[in-house]
Amino acid sequence: MSQNNSGFKKGLTSYGDAGFSLFLRKAFIKGAGYTDSALDRPIVGITNTGSGYNPCHGNMPQLIEAVKRGIMLAGGLPVDFPTISVHESFASPTSMFLRNLMSMDTEEMLKAQPMDAVVLIGGCDKTVPAQLMGAASAGLPAIQLITGSMLTGSHRGERVGACTDCRRYWGKFRAQEIDETEISDVNNQLVPSVGTCSVMGTASTMACIAEALGMTVPGCASPPAVTADRIRVAEETGRQAVELARKGLTIDKILTPQAFENAMRVLLAIGGSTNAIVHLTAIAGRMGLEMDLQGLDRMGRETPVLLDLKPSGQHYMEDFHAAGGMATLLRALKPLLNLDALTVTGRTLGEEIDRAGPGFKQDVVRSISDPIYPQGGIAVLSGNLAPGGAILKQSAADARLMEHEGRAVVFENLEDLAARIDSDSLDVNAEDILVLKNIGPKGAPGMPEAGYMPIPKKLARAGVKDMVRISDGRMSGTAFGTIVLHVTPESALGGPLAYVQNGDRIRLSLQRRELSLLISGEELARRAKASPVEAPTAERGYRRLFLEHVLQADEGADFDFLQASKKVGKVPR
């Protein structure tokens, strides 16, 4: 029996002596028809996250076939295996509730099964973060493959795509601008193919971030799911995975502080989803790196938004791909990047940018001198309402509301919001500030994307399109509006948000990065004492694990026991 380098020898501890363990293992894999020669080479695992519940991963069979081809062309042996798959719309109570579970599944299967490297295939919002978190903790050579975005559709001559246009059409329907027939017509066109949402939502943001981190082959972020380009990227990813295995290029050499800074730059420059801040914080936390939100805000002030994609701009992912994808963006952003950061190709990000060539004329990615928004898309706020910080996606907000003071209209939780938001008797006007409690990490639980509260129906009918809205939850990257998110600490843990009352005055100032509840410290303390908050609990199961261990948004909403045991630094440095 061959004793050459093979992933099949990894982790041989279970059955008596190592020789017998390998003997048994080989006997079983041969039950699937493999020869000794097939096994005597680098073994590359492939995570299969296909599921009937996950149309965002609907091209999984084709991707796996192409990855396998790439691995075999490079002389490796591919072995695919399933892990959890999580889709945004089908995961209850929220996909975020399951992200950490997927990361644990990924980490443990990477560690448990014999492999020299792994190809992580993900796409829908929580899957890529979960896979990067899990792989970061598992520590072996890893490469990310993205499933790719869906195509755009056409509704009565208008181009549409999920899910910025889903919200826009639903808003029109709520305001009674369109009827039942039209809303059901457009429902057929919003998701015209498999793949991830076609705007700069969380999925596209994480795709761009994975490439900026150096975790993908160049050009992986942008090809739509159903294109030949996507399949070629999959083949190339398989080929590269074998190289990673041969070189022993482990993930810690890629996920460095330099790489995280590049990812943060890209997040800001693409007007990316606010969710990506939570995910990047969690991934960095697995490497012992703490996210410095003030540092992110400083970075934001000097990073313009260059990518003209919905919801901040006008184009869709397939346009970004036609404009050259990440190569075009990284080239434009080059002066702000750490060019010496290593990528999974074994070359630096700077070398990859140079290899991609000079670029061409296009109108999707702007230059630093002609940005679509002069400052980064995301601002970090703080004040007595959010001592641990809050996030505002300024590039998707109404400029008129950036300096605003108003009266609080408070909803205690999601049920309260659902019961009263559309009531004609709701005491609300356009200058008020909507406040929603109990949608933080522990609150709902799982920090649902409910921060995008609907405009109360009676105001929507009167033509109101945007209002200041504040919560401890998240919002979909495909949403837009003046929406303050991730208020920390959350209300379910007795953060100041828990004590806001109807009629309180709240001040939002983007200029001063301020979010203030205009009551005295004594009054706040009096309210806290009068009605103390009881943190939510659960009897059993994963929900109990979640509630006992989930961290706040500023720590990535990871589980405390999954973070690296040693803190080694901050990002940005």
Q: For residues 325 and 305, what is the distance between their CA atoms, to the nearest angstrom?
A: 15
One residue of 47, 131, 196, 345 binding ligand FES per CB under 6 A: 196
| Chain centroid to CA 543 | 22
One residue of 83, 222, 476, 552 binding Mg ion per CB under 5 A: 476
Q: Does 276 bind ligand FES (CB under 6 A)?
A: no
Q: For residues 393 and 378, what is the distance between their CA atoms, to the nearest angstrom?
A: 4
Q: Does 397 bind ligand FES (CB under 6 A)?
A: no
Cβ-based nearer residue to ligand FES, 85 or 394: 85
Pick out residues in 395-424 that bind Mg ion (CB under 5 A). Answer: none
Per-residue mark of binding to ligand FES, 111-150 (x: CB under 6 A) = -------------xx-------------------------
CA distances from 250 to 74, 143, 208 (A): 19, 10, 21
Are 390 and 474 in contact by the 8 Å Cβ rule? The answer is: no
Per-residue mark of binding to ligand FES, 202-241 (x: CB under 6 A) = -x--------------------------------------
CB of 294 to ligand FES, least distance (A): 30
Binder of residue 124, out of ligand FES, Mg ion, none (CB less than 5 to 8 A by kind): ligand FES
Q: Does 202 bind Mg ion (CB under 5 A)?
A: yes
CB of 124 to ligand FES, least distance (A): 3
388, two tokens:
């641990």
One residue of 153, 201, 456, 556 binding Mg ion per CB under 5 A: 201
Reply yes or no: is the peptide bond before residue 93 cis, omega within 30 of 0: yes
Q: Does 165 bind ligand FES (CB under 6 A)?
A: no
Q: Which of 82, 18, 61, 70 is nearest to 42 (CA)?
A: 70
525, two tokens:
């303390």
Q: Does 125 bind Mg ion (CB under 5 A)?
A: yes
Looking at the DSSP bridge assignments, the partners of residue 373 are 305
Binder of residue 196, out of ligand FES, Mg ion, none (CB less than 5 to 8 A by kind): ligand FES
Q: For residues 222 and 85, what is the distance between their CA atoms, to the nearest angstrom?
A: 21
Q: Does 95 bind Mg ion (CB under 5 A)?
A: no
CB of 44 to ligand FES, least distance (A): 26
Q: Where are the alpha helices (DSSP H) in 495-540?
A: 521-530
Pick out residues in 61-90 that bind ligand FES (CB under 6 A). Answer: 87-89
Binder of residue 56, out of Mg ion, ligand FES, none (CB less than 5 to 8 A by kind): ligand FES
With contacts defined by CB under 6 A, name the span among 194-202, 247-255, 465-473, 515-523 that binds ligand FES: 194-202
Long-range contacts of 173-176 (CB under 8 A, 24+ apart): 174/454, 174/457, 174/460, 175/457, 175/460, 175/461, 175/463, 176/461
Q: For residues 261 and 254, what is the distance between their CA atoms, to the nearest angstrom?
A: 12
Strand extents, DSSP E, 11-76: 43-48
Residue 286 phi/psi, 5-degree rounding, is: -70, -20
With contacts defined by CB under 5 A, name the span among 121-129, 179-187, 253-261, 316-324 that binds Mg ion: 121-129
CB of 91 to ligand FES, least distance (A): 10
With contacts defined by CB under 6 A, name the span among 137-145, 175-183, 196-204, 553-561 that binds ligand FES: 196-204
CB of 108 to ligand FES, least distance (A): 24
Number of residues lying near ligand FES (CB under 6 A): 10
Cβ-based nearer residue to ligand FES, 319 or 490: 319
Q: Which of 427, 407, 386 is nearest to 505 (CA)?
A: 407
Length of the chain: 573
DSSP summary character for residue 536: P
Q: Does 197 bind ligand FES (CB under 6 A)?
A: yes
Pick out residues in 506-525 that bind ligand FES (CB under 6 A). Answer: none
Q: For residues 99 and 557, what is the distance between their CA atoms, to the nearest angstrom?
A: 10
Cβ-based nearer residue to Mg ion, 125 or 297: 125
Helix (H) or strand (E) holding 329: helix 326-333
Any idea what the Cα angle at residue 65 is, between residues 211 and 25, rounded to 5°?
A: 100
CB of 260 to ligand FES, least distance (A): 23
Question: What are the residues binding ligand FES (CB under 6 A)?
Answer: 56, 87-89, 124-125, 196-197, 201, 203
